[in-house]
Structure 1
Amino acid sequence: MSEDSPTTFLAIYIITFLIGFPNSVLAFCSCIHKIHNKPIPIDLFMLNLTISDLIFLIFLPIKMKEATDGMVWKMPFSLCNFHLFVFLLPVYSSSLFLTAISVERYVCIAFPVKSPKRIIYTVPICVVIWVIVAVASIFVYKAGHIDSDEANNTTNQPPLEPEPQTCYSTFTAKQLKELLPVRLSLAVLFFFLLFLTCCFCYINFIRLLLKRPLIKRQRKLRAIGLALGTLLVFASSFVPYNISHVVGFIKKENPKWRMTALMLSTLNACYDPIIFFCISREMRRAIKVCAKAFSQFFLPI
């Protein structure tokens, strides 16, 4: 890790928090308002996606503190374990909920018959997604902490030598033997398969949408923008992180640039509200109101 990496990490974390937190709060309030008035499946998926981002953003200051300390862990050891779970949770949940949104939008246009049972099915789907995400995060945590007493640099106990401590970045050969296959499996299940599913759903969604002459051009463009935006979120946020899993498995090592790839995935918390902006009319209206109030407060009359 280069000397200026902690500064870069800190800058990315601050930008993510300043942009993502207020927009996620706004998206959360808009979701609650929409669900209270007329709940539909896509709003429930967006609500859970927003909750995932908010959980991540609330605990993001822990990563800011780590970056401020030069990526040296100076906080309690138990906090490292907790923050690891919280930090990985939105990486997997965002992929699943974004895929659920793509499937829902494809189903809506491919099978436009409205059924009240769809909203009933959505709730257990969301619960199952959270259970899968929690189990996946625990697997990663357990695999990375097997035989931790042999690690030269661990946060589970004070090191034998007075060297700088890091959180979840140095592993023994036994830990890597267990951890690398788990990472590869998660990359296949939570990224590559989900990304292909999103591509299939949105390509067919756009194809069917363009065949509907009764739908206004503005709505078509907005829907196409949403599809392309979702795929962009996958590509920009999760490709480097999951590629590091593949490279690490092939080379049988923990790639040195993996932390940078993981840092880039945090920007996903900035992108998700943009997707919600494309979907929700209430979100666009709320942003206009906030922008108008902001301009009236700061600009001279």
Structure 2
Amino acid sequence: MYPISSHQLSLAVFVVTFVTGLPLNLLAFCTFVVKARRRLLPADVLLLNLTVADLLLLAFLPVRMAEASWEMTWRMLDFLCPLFNLLFYSSIYLTTLSLMGVSIDRYLSVAFPLRYKAGRRPAYAMLAVALFWVLAFSHCSVIYVVQYQGRGNDTEGNLTRCYATFTDDQLAVLLPVRLEMFLVLFCLPLGITAFCYARFVTIIRSLPLVSRGRKRRAVGLVVATFLIFVVCFAPFNISHVVGYVEKKSPEWRSYALLLSTFNASLDPIIFYFSSSSFQKISLECLQAVWEKLQLSRVCPCVWLESPEKVATEDSQILQ
């Protein structure tokens, strides 16, 4: 029995992520659309951005699958290589920034409930989302700099690899930017998230009027978020530091990237713990899907029950 190769492992992870992540994130997107018809909150904007980031990554996974099936060679048009990688890597950091934004919203909602409720506006969350996109894309645009600084792809025979091997001149540009991405797009969001959720859990546990179920949901939200940070994003971002120290891309970097990719299947856990109303609307969406499939219809969410029928039992602690 032959050991599985790296490209076979990559193909397997990409397929599993696509098959599980696409329906879950489409369900989440549909749910947030329904919630927005009732009342749009800042947390909804941030979670919707998280969904869009996952869908952006999933949209380009078929390209990754094709690349893996070609044993990690690039057989598409040259200009698609940097464009694809820009969108792919940007989606990863949009996720870390969005998770940070959700943690800030949760903390402020319990630490300053009256003041925050009076001043919160979806427009502020939209501005934060716009900033997240600028940060992610501006940092990941180094891909274009590296790609066109020289031949960014190494050639082996007649086959060209996409954004996989680099010259010394390219590494001199790429490695410092990766280190900055580790600090700005990973460490900073992780630190802010850790502070906000530590305070969030402490305050929640001290409130006698909060039900045990909501406390469990709050703890579940925190645990799920940190598992995603540690398991999915930490190895890939640590490879930035190792690469900067060793002056080369670590050989295990591609395996760490698989964990970041699989995150697209795990983010719906964050949505599940976000609120009870999300859980109820998700069940309505699933029920609508089943009913419309029975009628051979295509889009389930257009015929959903009126959002006003959904119970609005969430307090300002978990929305």
The equivalences for 1:135-146 within 5 A come to 135-138=138-141, 140-145=142-147
**Matched residues in 2 for 1:193 and 1:96: separation?**
9
Task: Determine if contact 1:17/1:57 at 8 Å carries over to the other structure.
Answer: yes
**Matched residues in 1 for 2:58 and 2:272: separation?**
19
Task: Determine if contact 1:41/1:119 at 8 Å carries over to the other structure.
Answer: yes
Q: Does 1:220 align with 2:221?
A: no
Task: Determine if contact 1:184/1:246 at 8 Å carries over to the other structure.
Answer: yes
TM-score normalized with structure 2 length: 0.85
Compared CA separation, residues 143 and 251, structure 1 to 2 (3 A): farther
Compared CA separation, residues 8 and 241, structure 1 to 2 (3 A): same
Q: Does 1:133 align with 2:120?
A: no
Q: Give the length in aligned residue pairs.
A: 288
Deviation at 1:145, TM superposition (A): 2.4
Deviation at 1:162, TM superposition (A): 2.9
Task: Report the equivalent of 1:187.
Answer: 182
Q: Does 1:22 align with 2:23?
A: yes
Task: Report the equivalent of 1:6.
Answer: 7
Three-state SS of the structure 2 residue aligned to 1:130 is: helix
Deviation at 1:58, TM superposition (A): 1.2
Task: Determine if contact 2:171/2:247 at 8 Å carries over to the other structure.
Answer: yes
Deviation at 1:220, TM superposition (A): 0.4
Deviation at 1:79, TM superposition (A): 1.6
**Matched residues in 2 for 1:103 and 1:268: separation?**
21
Three-state SS of the structure 2 residue aligned to 1:145 is: helix
Deviation at 1:293, TM superposition (A): 7.6
Q: Does 1:278 align with 2:273?
A: yes
Q: Does 1:176 align with 2:176?
A: no
Letter in 2 for 1:65: A
Compared CA separation, residues 59 and 146, structure 1 to 2 (3 A): closer
Greater shift, 270-279 or 281-290, is seen at: 281-290
Structure 1 spans left out of the alignment, 5+ residues: none
Q: CA RMSD in A?
A: 2.1
Q: Could you give the per-residue CA deviations for residues 40-96 of structure 1, whole angstroms, max 9, x where no partner exists? A: 110110011101111111111000000111111112212212211111011110010
Task: Report the equivalent of 2:314.
Answer: none
Task: Report the equivalent of 1:196.
Answer: 191
Q: Could you give the per-residue CA deviations for residues 155-198 of structure 1, whole angstroms, max 9, x where no partner exists? A: xxxx5x73431110110001001110000010011111211111
Task: Determine if contact 1:66/1:73 at 8 Å carries over to the other structure.
Answer: yes
Task: Determine if contact 1:143/1:182 at 8 Å carries over to the other structure.
Answer: no
Compared CA separation, residues 291 and 255, structure 1 to 2 (3 A): farther
**Matched residues in 2 for 1:129 and 1:135: separation?**
10
Deviation at 1:107, TM superposition (A): 0.4
Task: Determine if contact 2:60/2:84 at 8 Å carries over to the other structure.
Answer: yes
Structure 2 spans left out of the alignment, 5+ residues: 294-319
Q: Does 1:233 align with 2:235?
A: no
Task: Determine if contact 1:106/1:202 at 8 Å carries over to the other structure.
Answer: yes
| 2:251 pairs with one of 251, 256, 262 | 256
The equivalences for 1:61-100 within 5 A come to 61-100=62-101
**Matched residues in 2 for 1:261 and 1:83: separation?**
19
Deviation at 1:280, TM superposition (A): 3.5
Task: Determine if contact 2:139/2:177 at 8 Å carries over to the other structure.
Answer: no
Compared CA separation, residues 3 and 78, structure 1 to 2 (3 A): farther
Compared CA separation, residues 162 and 293, structure 1 to 2 (3 A): closer
Task: Report the equivalent of 1:119.
Answer: 122
Task: Report the equivalent of 1:43.
Answer: 44
% same residue: 37
**Matched residues in 1 for 2:140 and 2:102: separation?**
22
**Matched residues in 1 for 2:95 and 2:289: separation?**
31
**Matched residues in 2 for 1:216 and 1:241: separation?**
38
Deviation at 1:117, TM superposition (A): 4.1
Task: Report the equivalent of 2:262.
Answer: 267
Task: Determine if contact 1:30/1:282 at 8 Å carries over to the other structure.
Answer: no
TM-score normalized with structure 1 length: 0.90
Deviation at 1:105, TM superposition (A): 0.1
**Matched residues in 2 for 1:185 and 1:264: separation?**
21
Deviation at 1:129, TM superposition (A): 1.4
**Matched residues in 1 for 2:54 and 2:9: separation?**
21
**Matched residues in 2 for 1:97 and 1:181: separation?**
24
**Matched residues in 2 for 1:282 and 1:60: separation?**
31
Task: Determine if contact 1:146/1:174 at 8 Å carries over to the other structure.
Answer: no
